[in-house]
Structure 1
Amino acid sequence: MICKVSIIIPVFNVEKYLSKALDSIISQSLGFENIEVILIDDKSSDNSPKIMKEYEKKYDNIKCIFCKKGSGFAGKPRNIGLKNATSDYIMFLDSDDYLDKNSCKKLYETITEENADIVSGSYAVKNRKRAYEFNENPWILTLTSPKLDKEVKIKRTREMLSDPDLNL
């Protein structure tokens, strides 16, 4: 199965949130048949692996990988997901987050229409008063365009990496 987008999700003790994250992917307007989901469990001790297996049994485009040893951070599972992804485009989603129903479609259309190397969407978070705060910080970044000279590519990369909302 060749999908348009691979979504990589590191998983660790998120039984309360995982179904909501996965259901938000399944209901994407891009069409779930166009999405590959790679779940990488980092040695959870709750019911997260059970939930992962249930979704994998139900859907052919969900792959589950179970680490033999926990790493304690999301980087290792994300790298495992990158090695197993088959789509041309990769998305990362934290297992306690979820997507708006048009997220994948908007990002996919933007990256293909703009011939961009990287796109990033906006996001909303609940503040202490349980109200949503919207952060509109979309990126469309092209680093490999032959039309751009080297200095412009370097400048754009520096601007992107210095963005305070990047949280590297």
Structure 2
Amino acid sequence: MRARPWLSVLVPVYNVQDYLEECIASLMQQLGAVPGVQVLLLDDASSDGSAALARQLQARWPGALQLLQHPHNQGLSAARNSLLAASSGAYIWFLDSDDFLQPGAIASLRQAIQSHAPDLVLCDFSLWRAQPRLKHRLRGEAHRRSFHGPARTLLRDRTTLLQGMLLGGQMHAWSKIARRELWQGLQFPPGAYFEDMATMPRLLLRARSAIHVPEPWLAYRQRAGSILSGMDAAKAADLSRALRPFVQDWHHCAQAEPQLASDAMRFAIAHLAARNYLGTLRALQRAAPPPAQAQSLARQFAQDYLACSPLPPAALLRGYLRRGWLLRYARTRQAVLAAPAVAQDDAPTAA
């Protein structure tokens, strides 16, 4: 009987012909030294040559790659959900097909799991650009932290884990490797953008232990055509409502575990809600929809922010000042203080 894989790497594929080979090669080249990994690709009805390339890659590594196919395009969330349902590994790692793994990532992950057996492993990442400039290096794009808290230490304090993730704001699925059990009954929202923001905080809330390995295991490709590069009003609306399911879960969990409703936790959630709110306002300003639509969206965005934030705007701003986050205070103050009036449709928007 075949042993259960210790890891499933799940790769959704859609119109990434120019990047897919580099992505898969970066993974497969590491599996000779670290066996026991299931690799699943799913082509979401690509309209370029991605499906044909995926079949070629499957032939290059016979028996090591499984290829699934959606009969018609269903979007990233549905592709990930299908991959999750088809996987069998003890741990789950989602890898976007336009990104690639750094050398040694799989071995480092295996060591962390063997040493600590955590529910969740958090890794760092780098931003990859075809033509990096000095300003990109000065921003520290070669190594971006995904977690603000202790590193290389098994965390069993859920508040420390959640605060470290929420304050960092790095909610992407590909920097988190989770036990399969954490995904039980949890899916990405089909048809929605910002599916990571809607899903990963909920996954984090389920983890009882975690370890942060402060190494950039993944290169996050910056390219035109990504969701963030093409932000519009519809995508901003998905971002605006993304945290609502997590906040509902958090309220439920906090009833049984009061420490999850600590002042520090409430601040961390309020901070992330405010970050999302400012992002939606910037997107709305760039999209410049007709005035009536802009007013309606601004009202909805303010309502979503206030519903998701466990702190009123003034309390969040006091928290920034106490922590010495003066730049964050300055960037946030006008918009969040105006939010209650905007939610009632009584004031102009502030970005």
Match of 1:61 in 2: 64
Q: Please provide the CA RMSD for this pair.
A: 2.6
What secondary structure does 2:100 align onto? Answer: coil
Q: 1:142 to 1:70 in 2, by over 3 A?
A: farther
Contact 1:53 1:64 in 2 (8 A): yes
User: What is the rounded CA distance, in whole Å, between the counterparts of 2:100 and 2:168 in structure 1?
Assistant: 23
User: What is the rounded CA distance, in whole Å, between the counterparts of 1:126 and 1:64 in structure 2?
Assistant: 27
User: What is the rounded CA distance, in whole Å, between the counterparts of 2:110 and 2:51 in structure 1?
Assistant: 29
- 1:71 and 2:35 are equivalent in the alignment: no
Q: Normalization by structure 2: what TM-score? A: 0.41
Contact 2:146 2:165 in 1 (8 A): no
What secondary structure does 1:16 align onto? Answer: coil
User: What is the rounded CA distance, in whole Å, between the counterparts of 1:126 and 1:110 in structure 2?
Assistant: 25
- 1:166 and 2:171 are equivalent in the alignment: yes
Give the strand-richer structure, 1 or 2: 1
Give deviations 1:103-161, integer Å, cap 9, x for gaps. 11111211231121111211111358515612133577978xxxx5xxx4355335434
Match of 2:331 in 1: none
Match of 2:161 in 1: 156
User: What is the rounded CA distance, in whole Å, between the counterparts of 2:111 and 2:44 in structure 1?
Assistant: 32
User: What is the rounded CA distance, in whole Å, between the counterparts of 1:110 and 1:97 in structure 2?
Assistant: 22
User: What is the rounded CA distance, in whole Å, between the counterparts of 1:39 and 1:12 in structure 2?
Assistant: 10
Question: Structure 2 counterpart of 1:60, which letter?
Answer: G
Match of 1:36 in 2: 38
Q: 1:76 to 1:44 in 2, by over 3 A?
A: same
User: What is the rounded CA distance, in whole Å, between the counterparts of 1:84 and 1:63 in structure 2?
Assistant: 10
Question: Structure 1 counterpart of 2:162, which letter?
Answer: T
- RCO higher in structure (CA 8 A, sep ≥6): 1
Higher gyration radius (CA): 2
Q: State percent identity of aligned pairs.
A: 24
Q: 1:69 to 1:93 in 2, by over 3 A?
A: same
Q: Normalization by structure 1: what TM-score? A: 0.81
Contact 2:34 2:106 in 1 (8 A): no
Give deviations 1:2-48, integer Å, cap 9, x for gaps. 43321000100000000000100111166364321110111100111
Tell me whether 102-111 or 42-51 shows the greater mean CA deviation: 102-111
Tell me whether 123-132 or 91-100 shows the greater mean CA deviation: 123-132
What secondary structure does 1:20 align onto? Answer: helix
Kindly tell me the number of residue pairs found equivalent between the two proteins: 160
Question: Structure 1 counterpart of 2:161, which letter?
Answer: R
